[in-house]
Structure 1
């Protein structure tokens, strides 16, 4: 994601807070050990004394000083770890503490943004777009079967089970899900349920309505100043763990949008990155609107899940008006 300076600084402050928190935690541990593990402080202080002494030897031309220093430091480390274990503490109790060991809470690995930084970007943008609030209301815990009866209820129960299974397995299988059916039957709700479950399990998720996705792409496509923004967007569209495109068919039907959809599908399929697409279109309408090359990729690579039943949004609206 392309961040503004304010957004970037906000994320970097989080890393600074993590570093400060973990330094304080290690200081507290060290203070505890010095006061409760007899002999540890002396061993710790002897490390500095030894290093200075061996350093002087090296300056005076002692060729064995460095190897001797390494050997004695190794022995001191072993002795300190043994004291910790004898005191009932883990041997690595005083090792540096990191929320993310991969980047050591810097946000970068070899000059490249760490996976934890990428997730922080996405979560920040979710939060600022209010999607976080949506997912707090629309998730598997708030799901209700009360709006369905008979055959529609059985269909919805089956759809929920398939969505739950997808949320738990997509990252291993690289599978894709296509939700289709009439208006208001729960497709967007179920997409949100999966998105919430995926984010909570540590996966990067990007969620777009079809209209906002293609509007964003076309708005940046022909402006050279926005090339970096577009590059970041495509990178995340192609590489995030899960991409959700909601309400396919509501975007403007233009050659550019059709081309971008094909490219997005193709790139993610090549990378074996999972997708969820929802639409109100019937399968014949889908084929007619997007033609064979897109239709064949969807039918060949997606699990289909059809939803039927009443328009839940209209039903809720009528209930609200009666109150």
Structure 2
């Protein structure tokens, strides 16, 4: 589920097209201003000439100080332009470039790294490949029901019925979503098959996607298969973006941890992913059928200690509810 070279190139062409639209829009706004304020065009030309003279003088005399006089003249022109715009009811930035993404200026990159907006575009493509969009339309908080959870028998050691317990869990999940912009907590959901781990995870993923966060979803087996394709085989059509997105997306979801074939490669990559995201303050949600003891048996101590000590671990209880629906 990594971006192919052709998909990457298609995204970059989208950015090039958007830049052309940005330039056309800027020129259109300038022409509108010139029509209402004829002297504005002359002021712009004068500022451009002064800027060029300043640069030439600095290069000729190899000194920054010689350009100070030009700088003051240019600033005077800028103030005059701002005054004219205000007098004629135009915003101060009306003649400047306006971008869909001001952070990368519609280039897709910031300081040589992929911008958040590029991640969102890439994830949209990846989700189209995986059909996860259809799943999230069904598995979300609007469709969550407590009717499948027992409200008679109290859970041992907790003192609540499973119904009451799940009410608390849902409140925690909703608080997690509300606070996500300030504190990207990581969560481990664990419990038997069919108790709602994946459904809860999808509820959170859908809510955060709707708020504009970059959310990447993988089953555990699929995640390590995709990483292996990039790292071990270096397939020519593989753009390699998967590693970057896994490390930098706002929320990474790893579903069904423990269903993959656990070996040295998986242990190494899982530690890398978990550790990098914790250090970067990025949120991760892991769901698994394994209890904490089984996790210690399956994975290295470095992995389990980080999950158990630095994640919020949430056990889920009850019977398989999928047969009740």
Aligned position for 1:12: 12
Aligned position for 2:157: none
**What's the secondary structure of 1:304's corresponding residue?**
strand
Aligned position for 2:45: 48
CA contact (8 A) 2:216 2:246 kept: yes
CA contact (8 A) 2:4 2:237 kept: no
C-alpha distance in 2 between matches for 1:53 and 1:299: 63
C-alpha distance in 2 between matches for 1:68 and 1:260: 58
Aligned position for 2:222: 212
C-alpha distance in 2 between matches for 1:231 and 1:54: 43
**What's the secondary structure of 1:294's corresponding residue?**
helix
**What's the secondary structure of 1:141's corresponding residue?**
helix
In structure 2, the CA distance between the partners of 1:219 and 1:14, relative to structure 1 (3 Å rule), is closer
1:210-289 equivalent positions in 2, closer than 5 A: 210-223=220-233, 225-226=234-235, 229=238, 232-289=241-298
1:290 to 299, 309, 317: 299
Consecutive unaligned residues in structure 1, runs of 5 or more:
317-323
Listed one character per residue, the Cα deviations across residues 153-202 of structure 1 (whole Å, up to 9, x for unaligned) are 22222111111222233453342101112222221122122222333434
C-alpha distance in 1 between matches for 2:144 and 2:17: 36
Query: Which stretch of the first structure deviates more once superposed, 192-201 or 271-280?
Result: 192-201
Q: Please report how far the alpha carbon of residue 229 of structure 1 lies from its aligned counterpart in structure 2 after TM superposition.
A: 4.9
Aligned position for 2:82: 81
1:114 aligns with 2:115: yes
CA contact (8 A) 2:2 2:126 kept: no
1:56-67 equivalent positions in 2, closer than 5 A: none
CA contact (8 A) 1:26 1:97 kept: yes
C-alpha distance in 2 between matches for 1:56 and 1:258: 61
1:134-149 equivalent positions in 2, closer than 5 A: 134-149=135-150
Q: Please report how far the alpha carbon of residue 228 of structure 1 lies from its aligned counterpart in structure 2 after TM superposition.
A: 9.8
Aligned position for 1:182: 192
Q: Please report how far the alpha carbon of residue 301 of structure 1 lies from its aligned counterpart in structure 2 after TM superposition.
A: 1.0
Q: TM-score, normalised by structure 2?
A: 0.79
CA contact (8 A) 1:47 1:73 kept: no
Listed one character per residue, the Cα deviations across residues 277-306 of structure 1 (whole Å, up to 9, x for unaligned) are 101222333333336443322211111222
The structure with the largest helix share of the pair is: 1
CA contact (8 A) 2:195 2:316 kept: yes
**What's the secondary structure of 1:178's corresponding residue?**
strand
CA contact (8 A) 2:50 2:70 kept: no
**What's the secondary structure of 1:147's corresponding residue?**
coil
CA contact (8 A) 2:99 2:106 kept: yes
Query: Which stretch of the first structure deviates more once superposed, 129-138 or 240-249?
Result: 129-138
CA RMSD between the two structures: 3.4
C-alpha distance in 2 between matches for 1:241 and 1:249: 23
In structure 2, the CA distance between the partners of 1:271 and 1:26, relative to structure 1 (3 Å rule), is closer
Q: TM-score, normalised by structure 1?
A: 0.79
Aligned position for 2:166: 156
CA contact (8 A) 1:51 1:69 kept: no
Listed one character per residue, the Cα deviations across residues 265-287 of structure 1 (whole Å, up to 9, x for unaligned) are 23333333321110122233333
